[in-house]
Amino acid sequence: MSRKVLCVCVGNISRSPMMQAVLQQNLGTTFLVESAGLTKELAGRPANYRSIACMKERGVDLSGHVSRWIGDLDLDQYRWIVCVGHDEADKVRSYMGADSASVMVANEYQGGIPDPYELGLAGYRDCLALLDQVLPDVAQRISRAEH
């Protein structure tokens, strides 16, 4: 199995592109981190302009991001799938069937990563701060399991 990780949110336009960038920084180059969303109708869209602006402040360029629908992916190629919440994780598990041990929720004991969509740029900055807080633990869990 490859060292590929998938980050999943509802539309793959706000949280999961930011999560992908932050988790990639935490995991380093020995892993390939990608992202996708659960809403087919949003596939092919760019990242939300607030995600782009927020990550640009960090020096990360999301302007080339194009959202993907999870149904178009072969989920077996991912060793780990990190979701923004329990509902998203349940949907991913239903796509995968029985082999869902690799699915986890970021910030799972505090309910995941809240959607900043209605909260303006400040909400996206808060989302990024939360990702910065919780993804080092996710990366450590993934890295530990690989050794």
How close are the terminal C-alpha atoms of the chain, in Å? 13
pTM given for the model: 0.95
- Residue 36, strand partner residues: 8
Residue at 146: amino acid letter: E
State residue 1's pLDDT score: 43
For residue 137, is pLDDT > 80? yes
